[in-house]
Structure 1
Amino acid sequence: MDIIGEDYSDADLHGQVWEGRSFVACDFTEADLRGVKTSGCTFTECTFDRTDLGESSHTATAFRSCRFDRAVLASTAFTSCTWLGSVFVDCALRPIAVEETDLTLVGLSGAVLRKASLRGLRLREANLEGADLRDADLRDADLTGARLLGCKLAGADLRGARLDADGLVQATLRGARVDLDTAVAFAAAHGLRVG
């Protein structure tokens, strides 16, 4: 079922269950999507400005090139989803559960994800500039090509995570937990000669 260009702004869609639906260029501005459950849905170039998605759950759902501006995603769960190319601006993201989800090219500049569990997630080329990821669980996460200028990773668990040299120099890593490979890469990125 393809839904194209539909205007859902200010709509009360609280608690609905959607399966296998495809939304293209739809506007969910200020819509009430609290408790919504999606499974196998696709949202492409949709707008979620000031949308309340609190306590919603999403399984195998794709949010492609969507915009979330001041949206509420507190107590929301994403499992086996993708946020490819979506942008989040000033959103309420805590607490949030994200498992087996692809965040490639996602825009989370300035996002507050302190103590979030992002273990094993794909964050390739994500924009995390100025994001607060202090004490976050990023074990085995792929941060290759991610923009980390001013990203706060103090106290984060980065064991097994993949980071570029630029990220190791640009992010604040004081107190972060790393494995030996990352420690050596960090030293090399800062101009130290190991060995």
Structure 2
Amino acid sequence: MAEAQSTIGEDFTDAVLTGAEWDGREFEQCDFTDADLSALRTRNCVFTECTFTRTDFAESRHRATAFRSCRFDRALLRESTLDGCSLLGSSFVNCRLRQWVLRETDLTLAGMGRADLRRLDLRGIRFREANLSDADLRRCDLREADLVGARLLGAKLDEADLRGARIDADGLVQSSLAGARVDMETALAFAAANGLRVD
């Protein structure tokens, strides 16, 4: 197997890389500010502590790629797809995430406070210990999602589908759940978290 091509500390500011295809590449502490990465294709790549400020990821596709402790600031992720990816410890600030497609993706420790995730299909996504404070998750499909340890203070989960999801008592108390669909286990946990007795 060929050795991964590593790029450390490179400045990709304003780079136009539309439709590029990267396989097995590694990027560390690189700056992609204002770069055009639309329609980018990555596979088995690793981005560590990279900066994506106003980066255009529209319609990009990523498979088995890791974004570790990266910062996405006002990035455009519209219609991008992440399949089997990891975003461990990455943060998202004022990003456009409409029609974002996530499959079997790990967002453990991700910072997504105030993120607009309305109506997204987030089935089975791992949000363990992620910051989702004040995030808008209304009408999301969160079936089988892992929200253990996630910060959900002020999060809007109204009309979300939480059947089979794992969520802590704190999350059930601190978030808005009007009209959310839950299974019996979560319903009982919600009752207990809010001091109700079920006989």
Partners of 2:100 and 2:125 in 1: CA distance? 14
Distance 1:176 1:99 in 2: 22
Q: 1:91, CA displacement in angstroms?
A: 0.2
Deviation for aligned residue 1:194: 1.9
Q: 1:122 aligns with which of 126, 138, 141?
A: 126
Instruction: State the match for 2:161 in structure 1.
Output: 157
- Residue 70 (1) aligns with residue 83 (2): no
Please give the per-residue CA displacement for 1:17-75, whole angstroms capped at 9, x wherever unaligned: 00000000000000000000000000000000000000000000000000000000000
Q: Does residue 191 of the first structure (1) align with residue 178 of the second (2)?
A: no
What is the CA deviation profile of residues 79-115 of structure 1, one whole-angstrom value per residue up to 9, with x for unaligned ones? 0000000000000000110000001001111011100
TM-score (norm: length of structure 1) = 0.99
Matched residue, 1:32: 36
**4+ residue stretches of structure 1 with deviation over 3 A?**
none
Q: Secondary structure at the match of 1:168?
A: helix
What amino acid sits opposite 1:18 in the alignment? Answer: W
In the alignment, what sits opposite 1:15?
19
1:58 alignment partner, one of 59, 62, 80? 62
Kindly provide the CA deviation profile for residues 160-190 of structure 1, in whole angstroms up to 9, marking residues without a partner as x.
0000000000000000000000000000000
Count of residues in Structure 1 that have an aligned counterpart in Structure 2: 195
Percent identical: 63
Report the secondary structure of 2:53's partner residue.
Answer: coil
Structure 1 segments unaligned to the other structure (5+ residues): none
What is the aligned counterpart of 1:167 among 165, 171, 176? 171
- Give CA-to-partner distance per residue, 1:128-163, whole Å, 9 cap, x none: 001110000000000000000110000000000000
2:42 and 2:98 map into 1 onto residues whose CA distance is 20
Q: SS of the residue aligned with 2:52?
A: coil
Say whether 1:182 aligns with 2:186. yes
Amino acid at match of 2:169: A
